[in-house]
Amino acid sequence: MGAKMQWVDSVFKTLTPEERIAQLIMIPVYSNKNQAHVDSISRLITTYKVGGLIFFQGGPVRQAHMTNRYQKESKVPLMISIDGEWGLAMRLDSTTRFPYQMALGGIENEKLIYDMGAEIARQCQRMGIHVNFAPVIDVNNNANNPVIGFRSFGEDKYNVTRKAMAYVKGMQDNKVLANAKHFPGHGDTNVDSHYGLPVLHFSKMRLDSVELYPFRELMKNGLGSLMVAHMNIPVLDNTKDLASTLSKPIVTDLLKKEMGYKGLVFTDALNMQGVAKFYAPGIVDVKALLAGNDMLLNTMDVKTTIEEVKKAIANKEITQAEVDHRVRKVLAAKQWMGLDNFQPIETKNLISDLNNPTADHINRQLTEASLTLLRNKNQILPIKTLDTLKIAALALGTSTETEFQRSLAKYAQVDNFFLPPTSSIADLQQLKEKLKDYNTILVGVHRLQLKASGNNTFGITAEMNLFLKDLIRSKTTVVSVFGNVYSLNRFEDIEKAHGVLATYQENELTQDVAAQIIFGGVGAKGKLPVNVSNYFRINDGLRTEGGLRLAYTQPEAVGLRSKDLAGIDSLVNEAIRAKATPGAQVLVAKNGKVIYYKSFGYHTYENQTPVKNTDLYDLASVTKITTALAAYMKLNGEGKFDVDKTMGEYIPMMKGSNKENLTYRNILTHQARLKSWIPFWKEEVKKNGELKGSVFSTDSSAKFPTRVAQNLFIHKGFEEDIYKQIKESPLNEKPGYVYSDLSFILAPLVVKHLTGQDFESYLKKNIYGPLGASTLTFNPYKHYPLSRIVPTEYDSLFRKQLLHGTVHDEGAAMLGGISGHAGLFGTANDVAKMMQLYLNDGIYAGKRYIGSNVVRTFSKCQFCPDNYRALGFDRPSKPGTVNGNAAESAPAESFGHTGFTGIYSWVDPVNQLVYVFLSNRVHPTRESSVLSKLNTRTKVMQVVYDAMAKAKNNPTPATSTTGR
Predicted TM-score of the model (pTM): 0.95
Q: How far apart are CA 324 and CA 304, in angstroms?
A: 19
Q: How far apart are CA 212 and CA 137, in angstroms?
A: 10
Q: What is the pLDDT of residue 142?
A: 83
> b vs e for 26-45, b when ≥16 Cβ sit within 10 Å of the residue's Cβ?
bbbbbbeeeeeebeebeebb
Partners of 419 in the β-ladder = 396
If we measure between CA atoms, which residue out of 638, 29, 541, 110 comes closest to residue 297?
A: 29
- Which helix (H) or strand (E) segment is 600 a member of? strand 593-601
Domain span at residue 789? 567-579+588-951
| 801, 767: one domain | yes
Q: How far apart are CA 357 and CA 800, in angstroms?
A: 48
Partners of 74 in the β-ladder = none
| 707, 612: one domain | yes
| 835, 708: one domain | yes
Q: Are 443 and 477 in contact (CB under 8 A)?
A: yes
Rounded to the nearest 5 percent, the helix, strand and coil shares of the chain are 40, 15, 45
| 415, 508: one domain | yes
Q: How far apart are CA 359 and CA 938, in angstroms?
A: 30
Q: Are 136 and 85 in contact (CB under 8 A)?
A: yes
DSSP letter at 557 equals: G
Q: How far apart are CA 917 and CA 904, in angstroms?
A: 5
If we measure between CA atoms, which residue out of 454, 423, 417, 420 comes closest to residue 438?
A: 417
In tens, the pLDDT along 437-456 reads 999 999 999 999 888 766 67
Tell me the CATH number at 921: 3.40.710.10
**Segments in the chain below pLDDT 50:** 1, 958-964
Query: Please, which residues have CB within 8 angstroms of residue 930's CB and are 6 or more apart in sequence?
Result: 575, 578, 579, 580, 921
**129 located within any domain:** no
Query: Please, which residues have CB within 8 angstroms of residue 254's CB and are 6 or more apart in sequence?
Result: 184, 236
**115 located within any domain:** no
Q: How far apart are CA 473 and CA 470, in angstroms?
A: 5
| 575, 657: one domain | yes
| 535, 658: one domain | no
Q: How far apart are CA 21 and CA 309, in angstroms?
A: 7
- Which helix (H) or strand (E) segment is 778 a member of? strand 777-778
| 594, 451: one domain | no
**192 located within any domain:** no
**962 located within any domain:** no
| Sequential DSSP letters for 374-396 | EEEGGG--S----TT--EEEEEE
**777 located within any domain:** yes
Q: Are 103 and 541 in contact (CB under 8 A)?
A: no
**52 located within any domain:** no
Q: How far apart are CA 129 and CA 175, in angstroms?
A: 10
Q: How far apart are CA 352 and CA 361, in angstroms?
A: 15
Tell me the CATH number at 455: 3.40.50.1700
**665 located within any domain:** yes
Query: Listing from the earlier edge strand, what are the strands of the sheet with 696-697?
Result: 696-697, 712-714, 706-709
CB burial of residue 693 (10 Å; 0-12, 13-18, 19+): exposed
**74 located within any domain:** no
| 645, 496: one domain | no
Q: Is the dihedral of CA 801, 806, 812, 817 positive or negative?
A: negative
Task: Report how many domains make up the chain.
Answer: 2
Vertex 85: Cα angle to 82 and 86 (nearest 5): 115
* CA torsion, ordered 769, 787, 906, 598, to nearest 10 deg: -110
| 864, 791: one domain | yes
Q: What is the pLDDT of residue 3?
A: 60
| 641, 742: one domain | yes
Amino acid identity, residue 196?
A: G
Q: How far apart are CA 484 and CA 462, in angstroms?
A: 18
Q: How far apart are CA 259 and CA 770, in angstroms?
A: 63
| 615, 523: one domain | no
| 701, 745: one domain | yes
Q: What is the pLDDT of residue 957?
A: 55
Q: How far apart are CA 633 and CA 858, in angstroms?
A: 8
In tens, the pLDDT along 295-304 reads 999 999 999 9
